[in-house]
Structure 1
Amino acid sequence: SAAAAYWQAFKTLLANDFGFQGRKYFPPPDPINGLLSFGYGLLLKDVTAAVQLVGLDTYLGFFHTIDYGRPSLALDMMEEFRPVLVDWVVLGMVAAGEMTGASFEETSNPKQPIRLTEPAMNILIERYEQRLNEKVFHPDAGGETSRRRIIELQVRRLAWVIRGQGKGYQPYLME
């Protein structure tokens, strides 16, 4: 599948794979999956805020199953940003040596066999926020804007299509 190929390529880019064998999210069995899951939680928070700001229902999605308490639309909108924001940050932190074995703790809890230390969480949050605040081009902004703003602009694009004001949704493509 495309996902399996993506995660295999992702693994080859890791300077230290920390036992990463592919994406497994609950519970994260290794440090890389732990970093990804924590990062995706940060991204979900930001995408959910953008969906609510634009006035769409976070729970009525297209791709993710609609289930009680599941923010399906926010999860749908996250997809185009995972590689650009979270995966990029995790790869960069590992390559820079910012994550080591000391960045993680093993636990006896089978629902959370590995946990990021507080310093590791702080580094990930800082790198994620730096990435969000970088300025890049987006046509709807008329020039450069932050990636945080691009999340909102992309949700607005979707809202225009849903409301019949746009012909088709154009995903964000990193240049």
Structure 2
Amino acid sequence: MIKRTLFFGNPAYLSTKNQQLVVTFPEADKKEAKIPIEDLGYIVLEDPQITITNGLLMKLVENKTAVITCNKQHLPCSFLQPLIGHSEQTERIRHQLNASTPLKKNIWQQTISVKIYNQARFMDKRDIPTRKMYKWVNEVKSGDVENHESRSAVYYWQHIFGIEGFTRGQHGDPPNNLLNYGYAILRAVTARALIGSGLLPSIGVFHRNKYNAFCLADDIMEPYRPYVDALVFDIMETNFEIDELTTAIKTELLMIPAIDVVIDGKQSPLMVAMSRTSNSLYECFAGTSRKVLYPVFI
């Protein structure tokens, strides 16, 4: 079942009754709204005047609903996660912490190979020359010691949007603002899936910044990034004004969890595919598999 994503950009009072999320608005002419909590996968809270009850938060956590809050720049800045995400969490975390360095390097090799491949597939869709990209896909070594991820990124960002001089950066020119928002949503989707698989999203296989609480999420979301890039490109093509993150643009980007992807030869929503990826990652940590399942960009 595809879980729903709710976005709250205006003042509201959020509570719960009879296993439903109840939305009450300060405007007298707006009717109260009710949504079954079991249908919810993600809730994005943007307006600082939103009030949410602890009873609702508890039910959302029990339902494994990701609650995302935004900062003054309207970008997702925090993610509410349960203390216990899986019945076998202790054992699964132990396998994760005991993963050998060669295993983690192999996982990173797989991850970067698929990321570059998916970037190349998106470039194919745009009729951009990809010979270098496919060459790099097959040259990625254990741990990506030759940094093919960086080489491919330079080529990719120079060509993908057709903007002369475009560089990817948190504070760069548009569409970086759209990419920042989209990647933040993707990061939350990834963290939710990892927690659901009983893994710690803070302990990565490659990323290891001590100030980053989502190192593993940043690792595993890499092959999924081209789906965000493709959505941003589609938004640009529909003549949206992209200098600001409007409600219309956010609405489009909040569809990321429901994007159809192909994984293991089958089509499924991105959020479902991410759960398959995170579970396959655990199987690698547990020693029952050597392959992380990632989607292939079509």
Identify the TM-score tier after normalising by the shorter chain: 0.7 to 0.9
Determine whether 1:127 maps to 2:127.
Answer: no
SS in 1 for 2:274: helix
SS in 2 for 1:31: coil
SS in 2 for 1:80: helix
Mind listing any 5+ residue stretches in structure 1 that lack a counterpart? 105-115
Read off the aligned partner of 2:174 and give its amino acid letter.
P
SS in 1 for 2:267: strand
Please give the alpha-carbon distance, in whole angstroms, between the structure 2 residues aligned to 1:48 and 1:71.
7
Determine whether 1:21 maps to 2:166.
Answer: yes
Higher strand residue share: 2
Determine whether 1:138 maps to 2:263.
Answer: yes
Determine whether 1:77 maps to 2:202.
Answer: no
Picking from 23, 26, 49, the partner of 2:192 is 49
SS in 2 for 1:158: helix
Read off the aligned partner of 1:46 and give its amino acid letter.
V
Higher helix residue share: 1
Shift of residue 51 of structure 1?
Answer: 0.8
Fraction of identical pairs, as percent: 23
1:122-170: per-residue Cα shift (whole Å, max 9, x none)? 333322343432444433xx84321111111111111111111112224
Determine whether 1:67 maps to 2:210.
Answer: yes
Determine whether 1:4 maps to 2:154.
Answer: yes
Question: What stretches of structure 1 move > 4 A for 4+ residues in a row?
Answer: none
Q: So what's the TM-score if we normalise by structure 2? A: 0.46
Maintained 8 Å contact 2:259/2:269: yes
Paired position in structure 1 for 2:236: 94
- Two-structure CA RMSD over aligned residues (Å): 2.1
Shift of residue 71 of structure 1?
Answer: 0.8
Q: Which has the larger radius of gyration?
A: 2
Change (3 A) 1:3 1:144: closer
Change (3 A) 1:51 1:83: same
